[in-house]
Amino acid sequence: MAHVRNAAAQVLATISILACSCSSSHGDVTNASEQADTADAACPGSGSSSGSGSGSDSGGGATTLAAFAFVVDGVAQSPLACAAANWEFPPPPGQIGYPSVPSVCNAGPPCSGLSSAVIKNSGPVPLAYTAQPTWSGPQPPGVNFGNAYELSGVLQPGEQVDILPVYLGGVTAVLGASLPFSDPNAGKFASDEGTIPWPAGVPGSGGATTMHVSQITVLTACQNITPEW
């Protein structure tokens, strides 16, 4: 099975990249309370069936979770129901992809057919992120490598960033937080979640030494992805 990032790289090799200038490596970060057209709920599909960012542990208490929403053209996207992944999303309506690889845009970045692609921190702790159209090796969330078409930063609770200038589909972003993104007691293996030592220089740890990571990938069907963190 062809790797998602290889598909995106092949597409980029055949198209003319549009010029994209960003005034900051952090992208267009805004407070969500000022964006009435952006959904205010975390994406479903993780440890909480309600999507509220908390799940139940084996002792009956509440497990506090990091949470985010992936919102395209003002509509919160719902992940695919995958046996071994939590954050694989179908191509959003309006995305114009290649017939052979519909999960990857046929022009861009930014992706033709879309007007916004927002990642919102809808959880209780800071959310580190890195978004870019192609990946050439592990890149922890929030670490700015200075790559072309890269957006990296940290979102406080309630903040959001529009990643459309670097969005192409396929592997879209890696996210990190001091809390897990799904219930660790749920007994589900997810290839798009894991842990790493908290990266040096990335704020928002709250004193934690471990970063919980998740990966947003746009696919037409479930796959066991290769982590890009």
Residue 226 belongs to some domain of the structure: no
Residue 48 belongs to some domain of the structure: yes
Query: pLDDT at position 29, please?
Result: 55
Query: pLDDT at position 174, please?
Result: 98
Owning domain of residue 172: 4-15+25-218
Question: What is the number of domains present in the chain?
Answer: 1
Read off the pTM. Answer: 0.77
Sheet bearing 117-121, strands edge to edge: 28-31, 159-162, 117-121, 68-72, 75-76
Residue 20 belongs to some domain of the structure: no
Residue 102 belongs to some domain of the structure: yes
Query: pLDDT at position 68, please?
Result: 98
Q: DSSP string of 82-93? A: BTTBS-EEPPPT
Token code pair at residue 60: 């009956």
Q: How far apart are CA 223 and CA 190, in angstroms?
A: 11
Residue 229 belongs to some domain of the structure: no
177, 205 Cβ separation under 8 angstroms: no
Q: How far apart are CA 120 and CA 128, in angstroms?
A: 11
Residue 171 belongs to some domain of the structure: yes
Per-residue pLDDT of the chain (229 residues; tens, 9 = 90+): 434 444 444 333 333 333 333 333 445 555 433 443 444 433 443 333 333 333 333 344 568 999 999 999 999 999 999 999 999 999 999 999 999 999 999 999 999 899 999 999 999 999 999 999 999 889 999 999 999 899 999 999 999 999 999 999 999 999 999 999 999 888 899 999 999 999 999 999 999 999 999 999 999 999 988 899 9
Question: Which residue type, as a one-letter code, is found at position 81?
Answer: A
Residue 224 belongs to some domain of the structure: no
Residue 32 belongs to some domain of the structure: yes
